[in-house]
């Protein structure tokens, strides 16, 4: 696992390939301007479309979100690390490029061993976005990522995604209100059973501002 080389690449403002338990993604330092420019160019991403951030642990939330509600804390306790993305009110300092101009930021903790190994050396949140080009299917292994981005000469951490892997479930939490923005690996019935305060939800197949 070439984690030391990945940390060096991220420090230089490069984009890397990183497998999680839900998809093979592209990762970059959201506070490095060159990294952001390159990632937006590669993904042909409009500026009103936010990003999901991976964090190594909950201490990294302090630079991203306002104090979380009891419901948000309960969701973190129950489902992190895991395939649950929480969309939470962002701190004023968070760039609108990351929020898509919504003043909300999407965050999660991944249990994938490659991600854990990276965060053992990398000290702050990372952008995570699927490694496919716009409109194409997400790749399932490092070789597919290398093929897609062969002209970019990316450093890619080896790994493979299970063929039946689902994307993370995306929930927006505002106080004690929760809205299902994307169905995914954690199903609605499980959320109904295990989430206290689940009193407002709606299903959107794909949230445009968070898609891929």
Tell me the percentage of the chain whose pLDDT exceeds 70: 92
The architecture CATH gives domain 3-69+78-162? Alpha-Beta Complex (3.90)
Q: pTM here? A: 0.91
- When pLDDT is averaged across residues 6-14 and rounded to a whole number, the result is 97
pLDDT, tens digit, 9 for 90 and up, residues 58-68: 999 999 999 99
Would you mind telling me the total number of residues written for the chain in this entry? 212
Residue 197 confidence class, pLDDT cut points 50, 70, 90: low
At residue 198, the pLDDT reads: 65
Residue 158 confidence class, pLDDT cut points 50, 70, 90: very high
C-alpha distance from residue 194 to each of 13, 71, 75, 76, 151 (Å) = 40, 12, 9, 12, 45
Instruction: Report the alpha-carbon distance of residue 101 to residue 112 in Å, rounded.
Output: 29
pLDDT, tens digit, 9 for 90 and up, residues 70-124: 989 999 999 999 999 999 999 999 999 999 999 999 999 999 999 999 999 999 9
Q: What is the 3-state secondary structure (H, E, C) of 11-56?
A: HCCCCEEEECCCCEEEEECCCCHHHHHHHHHHHCCCCCCCCEEECC
Instruction: Report the alpha-carbon distance of residue 92 to residue 109 in Å, rounded.
Output: 22
pLDDT at residue 36 tops 90:
yes
Residue 30 confidence class, pLDDT cut points 50, 70, 90: very high
Tell me the percentage of the chain whose pLDDT exceeds 90: 72
At residue 210, the pLDDT reads: 38
At residue 162, the pLDDT reads: 87
- When pLDDT is averaged across residues 22-45 and rounded to a whole number, the result is 95
Instruction: Report the alpha-carbon distance of residue 172 to residue 193 in Å, rounded.
Output: 18
């Amino acid at each position: 696992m070439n984690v030391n080389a990945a940390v060096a690449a991220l420090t230089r403002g490069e984009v890397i390939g990183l497998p999680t338990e839900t998809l093979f993604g592209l990762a970059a330092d959201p506070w490095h301007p060159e990294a952001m420019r390159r990632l937006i160019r590669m993904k042909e991403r409009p500026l009103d479309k936010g990003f999901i951030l991976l964090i190594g642990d909950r201490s990294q939330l302090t630079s991203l979100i306002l104090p979380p509600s009891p419901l948000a804390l309960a969701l973190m306790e129950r489902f992190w690390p895991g395939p649950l993305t929480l969309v939470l009110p962002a701190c004023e300092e968070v760039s609108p490029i990351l929020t898509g101009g919504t003043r909300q930021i999407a965050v999660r903790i991944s249990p994938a061993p490659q991600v854990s190994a990276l965060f053992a050396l990398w000290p702050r949140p990372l952008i995570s976005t699927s490694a496919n080009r716009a409109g194409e299917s997400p790749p399932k292994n490092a070789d597919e990522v290398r093929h897609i981005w062969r002209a970019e000469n990316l450093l890619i951490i080896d790994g493979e995604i299970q063929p039946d892997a689902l994307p993370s479930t995306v929930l927006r939490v505002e106080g004690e209100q929760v809205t299902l923005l994307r169905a995914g690996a954690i199903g609605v019935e499980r959320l109904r059973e295990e989430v206290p305060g689940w009193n407002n939800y709606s299903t959107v197949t794909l949230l445009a501002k968070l898609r891929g």
